[in-house]
Structure 1
Amino acid sequence: MSQEIALIMALPNESKGLFEAEGIEVHYSGIGKINAAFKAFEVIQKTGCTTLLNLGTAGSTHFNAHELIEVSQFVQRDMDVSPLGFEIGVTPMDHHFPGAIELESFFEHLPKGICGTGDSFETSMSKVTCNLVDMEGYALAKVCKKLGVRLISVKYISDGANETAHLDWEENLLLGARKLLDLYRMVK
Structure 2
Amino acid sequence: MSTSDVIVVSATQSEAAYVPTDFRVVICGIGKVDAAIAVTRAVLESDGQPTVINIGTAGALRPDVAGLFTPSLVRNHDISAAVLRSLGYPVVDEIEIDGGDGTTLATGDSFITDPAVRDALAREAHMVDMEGFAIARACAQLGIPVRLVKHISDQADESAMDWPQQVDHSARILADWLRDNLR
- Give TM-score, length-normalised by structure 1: 0.82
Cα distance in 2 for partners of 1:153, 1:61 equals 17
Give the secondary-structure state (helix, strand or coil) at the position aligned to 1:26: strand
- Whichever residue aligns with residue 162 of structure 1, its letter is D
Q: Secondary structure at the match of 2:30?
A: coil
Matched, 1:119 2:109: yes
Question: Does the CA-based 8 Å contact 2:65-2:126 persist in structure 1?
Answer: no
What is the CA deviation profile of residues 92-144 of structure 1, one whole-angstrom value per residue up to 9, with x for unaligned ones? 7236x3x21000016xxxx5421111011012324571110000111111111
Q: Which amino acid aligns with 1:94?
A: P
Aligned to 2:174: 180
| Structure with the higher helix share, 1 or 2 | 2
**Aligned match of 1:26:** 25
Distance 1:131 1:92, change over 3 A: farther
Determine the structure 1 residue equivalent to 2:60.
60
Structure 2 residue 156 is the aligned partner of structure 1 residue 161: yes
Q: 5+ unaligned residues in a row in structure 1: which ranges?
A: none
Q: Distance in 2 between matches of 1:115 and 1:141?
A: 11
| CA distance, structure 1, for counterparts of residue 6 and residue 94 of structure 2 | 24
Q: Gapped runs of 5+ residues in structure 2? A: none
Distance 1:23 1:50, change over 3 A: closer
CA distance in 1, matches of 2:19, 2:126: 27
Q: Supply the distance in 2 between the matched residues of 1:92 and 1:14 (Cα, whole angstroms).
A: 40
State the match for 2:7 in structure 1.
6
Question: In structure 1, what is the Cα distance between the partners aligned to 2:94 and 2:81?
Answer: 16
Instruction: State the alpha-carbon separation in 2 of the partners of residues 163 and 152 from structure 1.
Output: 29
- Matched residues, number: 172
Relative distance call for 1:36 and 1:47 in structure 2 (3 A) is same
Task: Give distance in 2, aligned partners of 1:38 and 1:135.
Answer: 14
C-alpha offsets along residues 143-179 of structure 1, whole Å, 9 cap, x if unaligned? Answer: 1111110110110000001122121x22211111111
Say whether the 8 Å CA contact 1:19–1:25 is kept in structure 2. no
SS at match of 1:143: helix
Q: State the identity as a percent.
A: 30
Between the aligned partners of 1:81 and 1:51, the Cα distance in structure 2 is: 28
Q: In 1, are the aligned partners of 2:19 and 2:178 still within 8 Å (CA)?
A: no
Contact 1:117 / 1:134 at 8 angstroms: preserved in 2? yes
Given that residues 81 and 92 in structure 1 are in contact (C-alpha distance below 8 angstroms), is that contact kept between their aligned partners in structure 2? no
